[in-house]
Amino acid sequence: MRELRYREALREAIAEEMDRDDRVFLMGEEVGYYQGAYKVTEGLLERFGARRVVDTPITEEGFAGVGVGAAMVGLRPIIEFMTWNFSAVAFDQIINHAAKIRQMSGGQFACPIVFRGPNGAARQTGAQHSQCWEAFYTHIPGLKVVAPATVADAKGLLKSAIRDDNPVLVLEDERLYGLKGEVPDGDHLVPIGLSAQVRDGDAVTIVTWGKMLHMVLPACEILAKEGVECAVIDLRSLRPLDLGPALASVEKTGRALVVQEAWPYGGVGAEVVDRIQRDAFGALKGPVLRVTGRDASMPYNKHLEDLTIPSVDTVVRGVRAVLAW
């Protein structure tokens, strides 16, 4: 085991897969000479050269499309969006081409491409740079979507994504890039489509993913001092979605809370609630509740921003609300 930062784990994953397979290449804004907007790609241009680490203009639709075409003819592109908010102008390439080409070509073409970058709010980046995109992309058949919360999962899921023969979207988080954590030595892979139980408990099952795991775990420590032991499930993969561990935990606890950063309306959390209440209805002692971001565009003001994003305190209050039923 070694201690790495989240950004370093992502960098290792990219470098190891580029070493392993010369079809893998990286493309995006400032990934090369600037060493990456968040320094995830630092040193890769010097190591692999400008043919495999390609700086692009600010043309997300263009370079996403180039990546899709490259994947169709046998390469394995990694496309970095400086933020997932910028992927909005590449919707056509991701949704109408990458996601559909295998089905529309009758299996004649695959699209082994990775789209990656930071998702959700950073710190005072304003309404156009603070959105969570998982609900948009998990809605689309043909795409896989992962959201690593830990340093080990950042490396393991990205490596699995690069090896996958389908388009995979990796939703990272700017606030996690400096996070430190242990990463197993060797060829560390985390399978896409498997959630993980990261904490055991018998009072409430909390289901979450991405950055929100780091709000949930401190909340659990506060609640444990009150005698409330919460189980925590990290989904890790949002499509395909593995609710096996969550359902098994709900059979034990009888109560569930879903915590997501995104807006409440039509979110991944709503899908999780629906499945739990259908598949574990007999075990539930009350309704499955959610803690979400506010149903509003993100304000720039720091204090208003703090009121908009779920926090340790809102998770604690959410657990107490579940227990009150």
Helix (H, G, I), strand (E, B) or coil at 199: strand
Catalytic residue among 29, 60, 174, 271: 60
Note every long-range contact of 302-311, with CB atoms under 8 Å and residues 24 or more positions apart, other chains counting. 302/123, 302/124, 305/121, 305/123, 305/124, 305/130, 308/121, 309/121, 309/261, 310/212, 310/215, 310/259, 310/260, 310/261, 311/215
| CA atoms 212, 38, 52, 65: torsion sign | positive
- Write phi, then psi, for 301 (nearest 5 degrees): -55, 130
**Cα separation, 132 vs 313, whole angstroms:** 21
Dihedral angle, C-alpha 29, 175, 314, 226, nearest 10 °: 150
Q: Judge whether 16 counts as a catalytic residue.
A: no
**Cα separation, 27 vs 75, whole angstroms:** 12
Of 162, 134, 221, the closest CA to residue 17 belongs to 162
Q: Judge whether 97 counts as a catalytic residue.
A: no
Relative orientation angle of helices 312-324 and 213-224, to the nearest 10 degrees = 60
Catalytic residue among 17, 97, 129, 188: 129
Instruction: Give yes or no for a contact between 207 and 292, defined as CB atoms under 8 angstroms apart.
Output: no
**Cα separation, 252 vs 197, whole angstroms:** 13
The pair of structure tokens assigned to 147 is: 């959201």
**Cα separation, 228 vs 213, whole angstroms:** 18
The per-residue b/e assignment along 178-209, b for 16 or more CB within 10 angstroms, e otherwise, is: ebebebeeeebebebeebbbbbebebbbbbbb
Helix (H, G, I), strand (E, B) or coil at 149: coil
Catalytic positions, written as ranges:
60, 129
